[in-house]
Chain A
Amino acid sequence: MRDVLLVLAVFLACAVEAVEALTIVLAVGVSRGWRSAVQGVGAALLALAAIVAALGSTLTFVPLGALRLVVGGLLLIFGLGWLRKAILRASGFKALHDEDAIYARELAAARAAGRTRRAAVDDWYAFTLSFKGVLLEGLEVVFIVVTFGSNQGSIPLAMLGAGIAVVLVTVVGIAVRGPLTRVPENTLKFAVGVLLTSFGTFWGAEGAGAHWPGGDAALLGVIAVVAITALVFVALLRRAHDRRVPGSPPVTEPVEAV
């Protein structure tokens, strides 16, 4: 069960980040040409793979209790950040991520920039923009792959979840030839926030020396409690938002599933 949840959490987190990276790469490729944009993506993926390999092999030497304490704490901080933003977006207190607007902004900036050649790269601007976009969006995924994978003793399984998400998003992006605006990004972020917070709580407490009643099965209970509490927060904040801005149009998508 924990393996399934591991792949699911990595897949969802990676899908969200891949959609954001795809928006940047598409804008660069369409406006500046694909050669340098693809070179930038390749270089970033190599850098991310090197970070996973280096961190993954290092973390296997850390005692499991200490690893769970540190990783649990980091996942909790990360997960609570994702969850807070997803709740604020779902309740109308924060604007939803608009991939169309981001794509238009990146497209205009890329068209306005000058062109310089460096080494084997025809267009340095296109290369660096693609590289930065993929590297920065990928760092969170690397963090999740390494922490989940090392805690479960299965980095390859975590990489499988990430790989499926990247391939799926890329294939759909090529088929659509545009930013993936129909992906329910906030719902995905909500689900990832719930999973990261739950795994972080479970591993953090275990790493601190606590024993969960029911052992591993307690993780499902933690996920349920975190998800229900987050949905209650969404409902309460929606009401507060409506009171503050009476008659305001719904600016959020429903968080229909976790």
Chain B
Amino acid sequence: MTFLEFIEHHQQIIYIVILMIFVGIVVIGRVPSVLHTPLMSGANAIHGVVVIGSIIVMGKAEAGNYFALILGFFAVILGTLNVVGGFVVTDRMLEMFKNKKAK
């Protein structure tokens, strides 16, 4: 498969990648430095979508394939840790901003 064919074949994905790069940059735009840490933490939780990949791997593994089952199991645990831990930590940080506002 030549390079051009590869691009043609995956053009939809390539468009998504390009557009998302710009969306990512524009969305962050001007963040007050106060919010750098929570923002980093929230972004950290969002890349936990990788857990979906581990769920797919796990769900496709054949019953006897222990290599895939065990590694996939760990992948699901780690990915979930990333998602759940990430969102909970971010919420804890932001909760304190809110308390202070109310006063």
> Is B truly associated with A?
no
